[in-house]
Structure 1
Amino acid sequence: MKPSPLFARIIAIALIVVSFSAVAQKKANVVILATGGTIAGAAGSGVQSGYTSGQVTIDAMVNAVPDITKLATIKGEQISNVGSQDMSFEIMLKLAKRIGELAATADCDGIVITHGTDTMEETAYFLNLVVKTDKPVVLVGSMRPSTAVSADGPLNLYNAVAVAADPNAKNRGVLLVMNDWIHSAQTLTKVSTTAVQTFMSPIRGLIGTSAYGKNEYYRYPHNLYGAKSEFDVTGVTKLPRVDIIYADADMSPDLIDASVKLGAKGIVIAGVGNGNMNKVSLDACARAAKAGVIVVRSSRVTTGNVDRNVEVNDDQLGLVASYDLNPQKARILLSVALLKPRKPAEIQKLYYQY
């Protein structure tokens, strides 16, 4: 007996509903790339401050987080197992390559990177410059080791996976998720040596929040990143040497001269106030610039921009102003920019764009 048109239509609608339901219930595929850090650290007891970073494997970390596999289908890879004070450009380049490989596949929807907090902002900003994907790339860490009473790592990892699995996190550049906050790699900075709320995004604010896997987003990053970035580290095995020199009262210019003699291609000054330094140091910077070394004025102050030609005549001295990048991020940008020859004016433009 041939079914009626109405019955056939009902069956068709039911099949569509079932199909949409199956798609909606399909879990995302998230890969966790582990590098070590406090989140993988262990101590002799739960109440001691001393601990050793990078002692716990990625599988053990995932197994310690209840219900995390309900968020996504998770795979883990151990890229390195170091405290982030030992993070290197070699490891960063390895991470960038692996992220590119994973993001190019259909069975990876997002990537989480476990990382120590000491240099996390540098790795995040580096990846933000060189990784070409709109898929979520999320760094996560902790301020307390895995063995501590009230360890913050498990919930941080849970929220990071929730963000990496979230389609709404796409095309927001490299993110950092810790203590319920979602930061942009462009804006985050570490502001406390020990507090769990160690990361802040001064001036421009958070990308969003993630509370027990429930995500809310406020904005997109303001500068270039990802596919819009001009930087490419394909085949790169080493970055140019760029030194950071800290400015203070009555500073000596000797370290600036020594940096040039030792082969630095760039120097970032962590200047006082608006990227300032005393006259003898400015003279040393001018000498370095004339010798072909790119000199960038940043600031040791936590917030605020360093602009051109305010108290220092950058045009006359041949210097570059870091704009809103702190010294450590200014160094990352300069290291990547110097992979090809550029004049100071070209470098200056990059600080406004990135």
Structure 2
Amino acid sequence: MSKPKVAVIGTGGTIASQGLHPLDVQDYASSGRPILDAAALVAGVPELARVADVFAVPFTAIPSTAIGWSDWRALLAKIVELEAAHPDLAGVVIAHGTATLEETAYFLSLTLPTDLPVVVTGAQRPFTGLSSDGPMNLVAAVRVAADPQARGLGVLVVLNDEIQAAREVTKTSTGRMQTFRSPDVGVLGHVDADRNTFWRRPTRVLPPADRFDILGLETPPRVDVLYSVAGGDGVAVHAFLAAGARGLVGAALAPGFLTPAERAAMGEAIAQGCTVVLSSRAGSGRTFPTKRYGEEGFINADNLNPQKARILLMLALTRTRDRAEIAALFDAA
């Protein structure tokens, strides 16, 4: 029996990084050694051949702190191209740095015009590190991408033997193996030695026909994030507006409130036509509607964290400026 075909796109990050020695698992970015490309990464994990017919796809190899809109758009185009070129493709794995992994995964989940399984994975220790988690994470991601059960679940994130939804998962620790968590809802399933087990399906997955078509868009609408703090004066809001922000996300004080000065500054932004969404800096939980904020034109992010609320607002603004339509998207995506 032939094995499922899975493409592995390497974007760089810790999973493909090399330290000076096996115990160099913290400052490896200073090693001077090159980040492995996709071909070298796949070749370095020969066990992949036991679970799928894997082929490497060339892409840029950079730290995930350097990834942004142009890279997301190129990844999107690459996956569309791969599906068209390989009708028998079972799925795609993206090896990615963990710093912005959740943002890349959520962006793709909102823009991929297909239900082809796409799995994003990474590592907390470099490829050369003693007991690196990268090789096993890569094998697990390939197993999930090859699994028909993964189709239609949106983009998935697989690390530490856990399967999580792109919308729900976030990085919660700088260095621990169990860093990726879905705070309000938990994992979708697990990758065990004998099989993949899916316990539930995510409900916030846009149908492919409703996803955002941005392949022709060179530059997205500017959306910035204001981190709310005790005594915050909102001065940054005016700087964001001066820089051309069309949308703002408040990483607000839980359960979703701003300081008086921040609220006033955000209100001025709304009056100038800027769309403002309130998320929370708490790390979990919804920002819920209130009469006073609603009357002033604020939109709630539901339980999206600020970095993901920024992505959804950025994409929403490519389609509409209508407040009700954008609020509906935050309830659906």
Q: TM-score range by the shorter chain?
A: over 0.9
Alignment partner for residue 335 of structure 1, among 309, 314, 318?
314
Q: Distance in 1 between matches of 2:110 and 2:119?
A: 14
Give structure 2 stretches of 5+ with no counterpart.
Answer: none
Conserved in 2, the CA contact under 8 Å of 1:162 and 1:213? no
Number of aligned positions between the proteins: 328
Q: Deviations over 1:293-336 (max 9, x none)?
A: 001111100110001116xx222211111001000000000011
Q: TM-score, normalised by structure 2?
A: 0.95
Q: Structure 1 residues 213, 110: closer, same or farther in 2, change over 3 A?
A: farther
Question: What is the CA-CA distance between 1:288 and the residue it aligns to?
Answer: 0.3
Q: Deviations over 1:249-299 (max 9, x none)?
A: 000111011111211010101011112111111111111001010011111
Conserved in 1, the CA contact under 8 Å of 2:37 and 2:59? no
Q: Distance in 1 between matches of 2:143 and 2:294?
A: 47
Alignment of 1:24-173 (within 5 A): 25-48=1-24, 49-52=26-29, 55-104=35-84, 105-173=86-154
Match of 2:298 in 1: 319
Q: Does 1:208 align with 2:185?
A: no
C-alpha root-mean-square deviation of aligned residues, in Å?
1.4
Conserved in 1, the CA contact under 8 Å of 2:172 and 2:179? yes
Moved more, 253-262 or 147-156: 253-262
Q: Distance in 2 between matches of 1:28 and 1:205?
A: 28
Moved more, 134-143 or 42-51: 42-51
Moved more, 338-347 or 264-273: 338-347
Q: Does 1:268 align with 2:244?
A: no
Match of 1:308 in 2: 289
Question: What is the CA-CA distance between 1:213 and the residue it aligns to?
Answer: 6.6
Question: What is the CA-CA distance between 1:226 and the residue it aligns to?
Answer: 4.6
Moved more, 69-78 or 36-45: 69-78
Q: Structure 1 residues 309, 258: closer, same or farther in 2, change over 3 A?
A: same
Conserved in 2, the CA contact under 8 Å of 1:298 and 1:325? yes
Question: What is the CA-CA distance between 1:89 and the residue it aligns to?
Answer: 0.6
Match of 1:17 in 2: none
- The residue type equivalent to 2:72 in the other structure is M
Conserved in 1, the CA contact under 8 Å of 2:275 and 2:321? no
Conserved in 1, the CA contact under 8 Å of 2:5 and 2:146? yes
3-state SS in 2 of match to 1:138:
strand
Conserved in 2, the CA contact under 8 Å of 1:130 and 1:226? no
Conserved in 1, the CA contact under 8 Å of 2:96 and 2:122? yes
Larger Rg, first or second structure (1 or 2): 1
Q: Does 1:352 align with 2:328?
A: no
Alignment partner for residue 232 of structure 2, among 251, 257, 260?
251
Question: What is the CA-CA distance between 1:67 and the residue it aligns to?
Answer: 2.4
3-state SS in 1 of match to 2:58:
strand
Conserved in 2, the CA contact under 8 Å of 1:163 and 1:213? no
- The residue type equivalent to 2:254 in the other structure is G
Q: Distance in 2 between matches of 1:315 and 1:184?
A: 29
Question: What is the CA-CA distance between 1:59 and the residue it aligns to?
Answer: 2.0
- The residue type equivalent to 2:224 in the other structure is D
Moved more, 161-170 or 190-199: 161-170
Match of 1:22 in 2: none
Conserved in 2, the CA contact under 8 Å of 1:43 and 1:145? yes
Give structure 1 stretches of 5+ with no counterpart.
Answer: 1-24
Q: Distance in 1 between matches of 2:233 and 2:15?
A: 39
Conserved in 2, the CA contact under 8 Å of 1:128 and 1:226? no
- The residue type equivalent to 1:224 in the other structure is V
Alignment of 1:226-241 (within 5 A): 226-241=207-222
- The residue type equivalent to 2:57 in the other structure is E
Q: TM-score, normalised by structure 1?
A: 0.90
- The residue type equivalent to 1:50 in the other structure is D
Question: What is the CA-CA distance between 1:46 and the residue it aligns to?
Answer: 1.2
Question: What is the CA-CA distance between 1:168 and the residue it aligns to?
Answer: 1.5
Alignment partner for residue 203 of structure 2, among 216, 219, 222?
222
Q: Deviations over 1:97-136 (max 9, x none)?
A: 1112222341311000000000011000000000021221
Match of 1:18 in 2: none
- The residue type equivalent to 2:329 in the other structure is L
